[in-house]
Structure 1
Amino acid sequence: MNRIITTLLSFFFLLNLSAQENYTSVNIPKELLTNSDAVIRTYEAEFIYKNKTSGIYKEKKIITILNKEGAVYASFGDFENMFRALNKFTGTFYDKNGKKISRITKKDLLRTEYFDGLASDAASFFSNSPIGIYPYTVCYEKEVVFKGGLLGFPSFFPLPGDNISMESGYYKIQIPETTEINYKSGKMEGPIKSVDKGLITLLWKTDSVKAFKAEPFSPDFSTLRPWLHVTNTEITYAGTYGRLDNWKTFGSWLYDLQKGRDMLPEKLKQKITDLTKECKTDKDKIKALYNYMGDNTRYVSIQIGIGGLQPMEASKVFSTGFGDCKALSNYMMAMLQETGIPAYNTIINSKSESLFEDFASAGQTDHEILTVPLENDTLWIECTNPKVPLGYIPRHMAGHNVIVITPEGGIFTKIPDYDDKENLSAISANLQIDEKGTISGYINEYNSLKQYEPYMYFQALDGKKQIEAIRSCIDLSNPSISNIHFSEYKEEKPYAILFYNISHTPPLNQNNQRIFIPLNIFRNGITQLPKKERINPIVIKYGYHDTDTIHITIPQGYMVESLPKELNIRSRFGTFKTRYKNEKNIITAIYDFIRSSGKFEPSEYEELINFHQEINRAYKAKAVIKRL
């Protein structure tokens, strides 16, 4: 025990000694300057657990800003609400030699209660660096007091983004011996544990973390940097009680929060009866109520008190016509229950596919949807956006882990995803080229599932915006677009059909005898990849299928002199095929591209570069026609 305490004391002595020298920029290790716009010299974080409802978080962060791009890391931000308050704050700025320039305190921070939702009890604090001469160093120190309930301890994410490195950092937690906690970490050493006078101290640290430079198709940034989550297993929050041992017990607590909030007024019950009395199946009933909700409610964010976790009463959603994701999901659940169809509120992270199955915490999820188990199917319903067809699983949900909140507790599961090939975009075009090289014709586009999603909003655009949207997908300078027809089919596997005419007056590239015709003006190519050493795994989250058939009638008096070489590429990253033919002065170009989703090793990056290059060359390829 004495050896552990001595180790801790030695560590803090050395850390404090180094911190005294960290205000100058001249002693940063060279390896931490590579790809860096800023360097965290030291990051000291500490959470002192007082009791089930309160604690104190202290943080000291020293950052050297190397250039203008790194200035974003010199800003400060924090917030207050009924559960936390910014108790103390100081910010001190130093020049490159470590000489103090200026100092600010809490009263100098910009305070705002602006919120883009309906209601919030939060206030935010901001400060931007006043220094414009690089390099310089800033030291921020703050103390945050937690009160009224704890749903976990503050998480530790010392690196806020790309192009910033860190010399040293630690997170220390102090709890009574009788307090149970769970924790999960990545790229952190520890914890080192010590016990003194009935208090447990846990210490995690991380040192010499090099800067991450953004790479195409990178994994989630959170998996590349040091991180730490800690939760208390016993919940006492805003007068409610529960446990956070795992997703099952956390789900039980959330289920208790929503109890009694599904009561419906008699007027709505009668409306439900009227809407569903002619329905023949449960799916028909669900669709009728889903459409009714979409027509009569709108999404707003509500973050007052426990409102970030507890849904607003269904009766209030009916009377006011609005609600956040929890309220609208709960409202839909209540209406379905009135018809005898069971449904369950479900929490999800809309930005990341994965949740830790073996570690439960409130901060891992950011959204709520509705799960409706049927006899031969399960519906996963997004209740905040009536544009989403019932039964369709949008991109921010497909393939994601979720926690279904049931009377028996939380159930960890995964939403199904669509096969890459099902996300289809098919273009059929009939074009003509005249003797001046002017192009004209008509186009028919079919887009389904994930490739349909951008078209959910097309019908609501005015004519000018529709033309702009179409032009953005065409590799010609300001073509004329006319005769637009759009049809949307909001089925469980939705799709949209877009028809339009095109003409392009500026002549194509030509000389006196030849015209050079771009064969596919409807695909702008795929990501151009830099040729450099790959550091991180390759993660392609979105797979799809593009197929194009383009007929081009050439002018009388011309013949086809050359067509591009046909391709048939098979790669672990997908497939790409082209075919070209010329019959009776009509060139037909056919393209078929399947992008495969998945995770790949850094060693396979060169193959991905070559795959992209060949595809981009094929999409840019031209036919040459010659005057007879």
Structure 2
Amino acid sequence: MNKFIYTNTFLFYLVLLCSSSGFSQEKVYTSKSIPDALTDGANAVVRNDETRIILEDVDEMLVSQKRIVTVLNKSGNKTLDAMVHYDDNVKIKHLEAVVYNKFGVIIKKIKEKTFLDVSAVPGGTLYSDSRVKYLNYSPSDYPYTIEFTVEYRTSNTAFIPSFLPVNHYHLSVERSSYTVSSPENIEIRKKEKRLSGIDLEKKEDVGVLSYIVKNIPAVKPEEFCPTFVELVPRVLIAAKQFSLEGVNAEVENWEGFGKWMYNDLLLDTADLSESTIAEVRALVENETTAIEKARKIYQYVQDKVRYISVQVGIGGWKPFHASKVDELSYGDCKGLTNYTMALLQAVGVNSNYCVVYADSPRRNIEKDFAIMQGNHAFLLIPSLENQDDIWLECTSQDVPFGFIGDFTDDRDVLVITPEGGKIKHTKKYETLENSQKTKGSYVINDDGSIHIEASIASRGIQYNNKYWYEKIERRDLDVKYKENWDYLNTITINKMEFDNNKNDVVFTEKIHLFVPNYTKKAGNIMLLPVNALNRNSYVPDKYKERKYPVIFKRGFIDEDEVEIKLPKDYLVEALPEPLIIENKFGSYHASCVVQSDNTVLYKRKFMMKDGKYPKEDYDSFREFFLEVSKYDNAKIALTKNQ
């Protein structure tokens, strides 16, 4: 160890020693010493968590952690996080756990060989060296305490662990410390989030940065509240100079980060054979616009390749060469995105490789802090022919051209260009775009059963929720429909037909249903629930004291028009009164009108706007759902002629 590293390491441990003064290690092993404020709403309590990171060089990092957690009940077991990820570039130096009973007495010591060792990637991955060792412990009694200790060394310094003292709902923190040290040739950058209002000690000296937080109560989730990462304290850490599997970089903003990715990870991978280039140029030779050329190329990719996760390359960040994907006809998100980009380039259409946090909950790339982020790659075709940007999901063989759905919609992403990285926002599907229109008819039989015929057309995010129906087995689809209509009694689906219009991005279902015992009869009276196809029974939870703002993430509009044919010899005794609700959250219009002696026309329009509202609006927000639910469950009273 050179003199500077020795000195820096000494300072590192000196800071830890000073920061731990006055903290009693003994009491953290017994559950009786937990303050009452930390058990409120908690399934587990972090008694003490010490994370220590030493950046010894641009390509050498040592990470150690001692984490002591008291688990109060069965639900708290998932908060232990007694695990470590490793691969060819992460070497575990030490791993063990010690279990204590509620009195702080050791009941078990667990060595590294007892930890389960499994692949860290899904079964659909063709190859990956990424693995995880984790503790699989089944307690005989609660509460209990586990002290987990791990130390590992890695040559990858692109991923410095963040300081995230609270990493689960219903987890409180008694004490958590984090220290990172670095030599003079490495500059540490940081972004602090939500540190105000907590018990915090921070020390920042030459080559050493440390944080200590204490007595953070458990975070309790609420419906329609911000995502977890938006509620808890966090410090993002990055080195200006870092290494990713032998490839060194020096970046401090997204422009520089993007240049590094383009030049070192992407530039040499867009190779295609002359025969493939000739093939795709012939494919689009009759197309006169760039958009139609892009559409043809996208369909070509969907027809040719399939998605398989391949976690190789530079830390899973460098895509396979386009020529390799072309040869094998498969690839992961990086490889397929890069392959599509190369094909588009071959026919003269410019596009950009993008990095995103995909799936839900929706998460943005940190636009003002350049750091290794994201979990997915997809493609941007910048605005063409005075149209909006086109975003392409290159891993799906079924998604229509230019449709990204809720997987990558409405979020900040990193766009890689030769000039550097840029943050752009993906398409947001507006309320009126996310539509479902139902046109149907009910035939009510004298015995109270009902035959239903309906056509349901879905667009936008509602299309996203349905288009895959045509690909699943009939028995699975049967289960899905019965889950959707769980408020109906035993149903029989006599007919299911689908029309997936990918050009207009509309998915239409044509359904024939039979529902026995749909109505209730009492003598000459029959009670008929008016809404059989699109009934809202959901009402958000009630809170004694709402803590967080209300966030409705994606607006939608449902429009229903149903003709109800009454059974012979029955007349309408009473109809639900028409209802119109208009408020800041949306609107609801519903009515029942007698068209003839044996026909009632039911119309319904329910719209929810996306938006963020103060916590004081929650009761009104909930009341809106309650009113909708009441009317959606309204009944028509019929009387039988004598």
TM-score category of the 2 structures, normalised to the smaller one: over 0.9
Aligned to 1:418: 429
**TM-score (norm: length of structure 1):** 0.95
Q: Which amino acid is the alignment partner of residue 94 of structure 2?
A: K
CA distance in 2, matches of 1:91, 1:504: 57
> Secondary structure of 2:262's partner?
helix
Which of the numbers 249, 270, 277 marks the counterpart of 1:269? Answer: 277
1:5 shift after superposition? 12
1:381 shift after superposition? 0.6
Aligned to 2:481: 470
> Secondary structure of 1:144's partner?
strand
353 and 24 in structure 1: CA distance in 2 versus 1, 3 angstrom threshold? closer
Aligned to 1:572: 584
Aligned to 1:498: 509
Aligned to 1:58: 64
CA distance in 1, matches of 2:508, 2:496: 11
Alignment of 1:429-440 (within 5 A): 429-440=440-451
Which of the numbers 282, 297, 306 marks the counterpart of 1:298? Answer: 306
94 and 302 in structure 1: CA distance in 2 versus 1, 3 angstrom threshold? same
Aligned to 1:357: 367
Q: Which amino acid is the alignment partner of residue 462 of structure 1?
A: E
Whether 1:175 and 2:206 are equivalent positions in the alignment is no
The answer to whether the Cα contact below 8 Å between 1:39 and 1:64 also exists between their aligned partners in 2 is yes
Which of the numbers 613, 618, 623 marks the counterpart of 2:631? Answer: 618
Aligned to 1:375: 385
Q: Which amino acid is the alignment partner of residue 638 of structure 2?
A: I
1:590 shift after superposition? 1.0
1:616 shift after superposition? 0.8
Q: Which amino acid is the alignment partner of residue 490 of structure 1?
A: K
Q: Work out the number of aligned pairs and report it.
A: 616
1:353 shift after superposition? 3.5
The answer to whether the Cα contact below 8 Å between 2:41 and 2:218 also exists between their aligned partners in 1 is yes
Which of the numbers 140, 147, 158 marks the counterpart of 1:139? Answer: 147
Whether 1:400 and 2:411 are equivalent positions in the alignment is yes
Whether 1:21 and 2:36 are equivalent positions in the alignment is no
1:306 shift after superposition? 0.8
The answer to whether the Cα contact below 8 Å between 1:25 and 1:96 also exists between their aligned partners in 2 is yes
CA distance in 2, matches of 1:619, 1:434: 21
Q: Which amino acid is the alignment partner of residue 621 of structure 2?
A: L
Aligned to 1:204: 211
Q: Unpaired runs of 5+ in structure 2?
A: 1-11
Q: Which amino acid is the alignment partner of residue 592 of structure 1?
A: K
32 and 134 in structure 1: CA distance in 2 versus 1, 3 angstrom threshold? same
Which of the numbers 75, 84, 90 marks the counterpart of 2:96? Answer: 90
Query: What is the aligned-residue identity percentage?
Result: 27
Alignment of 1:448-463 (within 5 A): 448-463=459-474
The answer to whether the Cα contact below 8 Å between 2:116 and 2:136 also exists between their aligned partners in 1 is no
Q: Which amino acid is the alignment partner of residue 356 of structure 1?
A: E
> Secondary structure of 1:13's partner?
coil
Q: Which amino acid is the alignment partner of residue 252 of structure 1?
A: K
The answer to whether the Cα contact below 8 Å between 1:479 and 1:502 also exists between their aligned partners in 2 is yes
Q: Which amino acid is the alignment partner of residue 445 of structure 1?
A: I
Deviations 1:381-426 (A, max 9, x none): 1100121100223112221111110000001111121211110011
375 and 307 in structure 1: CA distance in 2 versus 1, 3 angstrom threshold? farther
Whether 1:606 and 2:619 are equivalent positions in the alignment is yes
Which of the numbers 193, 218, 222 marks the counterpart of 1:215? Answer: 222
**TM-score (norm: length of structure 2):** 0.93
186 and 408 in structure 1: CA distance in 2 versus 1, 3 angstrom threshold? same
CA distance in 1, matches of 2:413, 2:171: 32
459 and 383 in structure 1: CA distance in 2 versus 1, 3 angstrom threshold? same
> Secondary structure of 1:308's partner?
coil
1:526 shift after superposition? 5.3
Whether 1:442 and 2:442 are equivalent positions in the alignment is no
Aligned to 1:348: 356
Aligned to 2:258: 251
CA distance in 1, matches of 2:120, 2:355: 26
Aligned to 1:46: 52
The answer to whether the Cα contact below 8 Å between 2:59 and 2:243 also exists between their aligned partners in 1 is yes
The answer to whether the Cα contact below 8 Å between 2:313 and 2:319 also exists between their aligned partners in 1 is no
The answer to whether the Cα contact below 8 Å between 1:578 and 1:589 also exists between their aligned partners in 2 is yes
CA distance in 2, matches of 1:226, 1:528: 31
Aligned to 1:110: 116
